[in-house]
Amino acid sequence: MNTVLVLNGPNLGRLGSREPDVYGADTYEDLVTLCRETGRHLDLHVEVRHTNDEAELIGWVHQAADERLPIVLNPAAFTHYSYALRDALAQRTAPLIEVHISNPAAREEFRHNSVVAGVATGTIAGFGLMSYVLALQAVAELIAEKSKG
């Protein structure tokens, strides 16, 4: 069974109480449960992690590169300015799907730029927690394609 890291950046641990008009009423635990259940249906072992610490997130990205693990990443605010995270992600050795619960392009102008998108396999945004489901489905498809040939 393939392992996928679902990594979440700052403030995502506060889902359910943080701006529910933007991020919905689902909690971080709801997100963890959804990702793990989706993984089981896709024959993926899903590890869900959250940090408010840029250095810790970069360490997880290095681990994924070393172990050739796919990543589903919601970099949160790091999306817009963390060149250190972008440089770590550029070392990836497996698929990387950038996800966002809301649609950054429909929000404040400072959210329109992603320094991560240029090194990601793809980006899924604006579908609420379903963005994670779609990203995990994409990872499963990419793994299947790679194993075929």
Task: Detail the residues annotated as belonging to a binding site for substrate.
Answer: 74, 80, 87, 101-102, 111
Q: What is the DSSP string of 28-79?
A: HHHHHHHHHHHHHHTTEEEEEEE-S-HHHHHHHHHHHHHHT--EEEE-GGGG
> Any bridge partners for residue 129, and if so which?
none
Catalytic residue among 62, 100, 112, 132: 100
Residue 41 designated active-site: no
Residue 132 designated active-site: no
Asked if residues 80 and 110 have their Cβ atoms less than 8 Å apart, the reply is yes
- Residue 144 DSSP SS3: helix
List residues forming the annotated binding site: 74, 80, 87, 101-102, 111
> Any bridge partners for residue 124, and if so which?
99
Q: Which residues are catalytic?
A: 23, 100
